[in-house]
Amino acid sequence: MYLGDSRMLMQSTLKKQSVDLIMTSPPFGLIRKKKYGNEPAHRYLEWFRPFAEGMKRVLKPTGSLVIDIGPAWLEGMPAKSLYQFELLAMLCEEYGFYLAQDFYWWNPARMPAPAEWVNIRRLRVKDAVNPVWWLSPTPWPKASNRRVLTPYGKSQQALFKNGYNSGPRPSGHVVSETWGRDNGGAIPPNLIAAPNTVSDDSYQQFCREMGIKAHPARFPRTLPDFFIRMLTDRGDTVLDPFGGSCVTGEAAESLGRKWICGEIVEDYLLGALGRFQAAAGDKAVSKESGVYTVPTILPVSKEAEAVKLDSFGGKPPPKSYVPG
């Protein structure tokens, strides 16, 4: 854990090109000032620039930057700020990042807000989705979706049993016979559904016992767990410059990765110690029950983990590839 300004951590303390994955959730550009130190949307880009410079400096050429960035509303009106998309454009156009893919974190348990537009006037529905930008210095970051497979649905299992109807579809897609092959699990979509409702885990229990205020804006461990699995190998280094309560560090530790969490608020790091004092196998789970069943990521097979990640899916580079 690093207590201090993460701009200094990335610009001078860490070595150049020493990090395989930056997995982070910076303070959002909200209208109201929060205790964890967010910047207003209209000043967000200027505030973020030094962090972007540091991220570009420490990230390896085939590494990834994953940013969970929540929404904001324009002050006094039922219209959204574009700051998330402006940040994405800035990172790509000014700092040379590529958007590998856009993901979305859906929190089914999120409270309805803003109250004025959602609860009182009933003009809008609740914001329940955060964009999660997966970026890289290259269009070819190392990755494998074989590390994040989910269980096959009942209909797919029935197709394996009864046979697959290959051939053209009305959409124009052609389904080959290989679609009927059991590959150990289904490829997940870019929508990650994860209720953020755990209230009895070791972290919060530790904070209560020690009289430490828990970090108010934690993301669920499901989020860093997914990207750490997909984008890093065992022994790789994961950095979270806005570490908060070190959810990213906890996920990285459990998956055998090295990790660094930077945080400027000492109390948040003191509380984070509780994540690493829990007994192995802590099984705190969300009690959220809703209409959507959150897919469980399957354990990575020994065969899949033995294959080191690369940028081309284990195949030769395509003709469109231009070495950097």
pLDDT digits (tens, 9 = 90+) for 184-241: 889 999 999 988 766 547 888 888 888 888 887 788 899 999 999 999 999 999 999 9
> Rounded to whole angstroms, how far apart are CA atoms 22 and 262?
11
Confidence grade of residue 120 (pLDDT, cut at 50, 70, 90): very high
The reply to whether 182 belongs to the active site is no
Q: How many CB atoms lie within 10 A of CB 311?
A: 15
Query: Looking at the 3D structure of the chain, how many domains does it have?
Result: 2
Assigned domain for 317 exists: no
Shared-domain flag, residues 250 and 294: yes
Assigned domain for 142 exists: yes
Largest CA distance in the chain: 63
Assigned domain for 315 exists: no
Phi, psi of 148 (to 5 degrees): -130, 35
The reply to whether 144 belongs to the active site is no
Shared-domain flag, residues 140 and 228: yes
**At 46, is the secondary structure helix, strand, or coil?**
helix
Which residue in the block uniquely carries the two structure tokens 């940040």?
Answer: 87
CATH number of the domain bearing residue 70: 3.40.50.150
Shared-domain flag, residues 109 and 75: yes
Shared-domain flag, residues 241 and 280: yes
Shared-domain flag, residues 117 and 266: yes
What is the model's pTM? 0.85
Of 6, 26, 114, 201, catalytic: 26
Shared-domain flag, residues 171 and 100: no
The reply to whether 26 belongs to the active site is yes
Of 68, 127, 201, 225, catalytic: 68
| Residue 116: domain span | 2-150+189-306
pLDDT at residue 195, rounded to an integer: 84
230: burial class by Cβ within 10 Å (0-12, 13-18, 19+)? buried
pLDDT at residue 281, rounded to an integer: 43
Q: How many CB atoms lie within 10 A of CB 6?
A: 26
Confidence grade of residue 289 (pLDDT, cut at 50, 70, 90): very low
pLDDT at residue 203, rounded to an integer: 82
Confidence grade of residue 41 (pLDDT, cut at 50, 70, 90): low
Mean pLDDT of the chain: 85
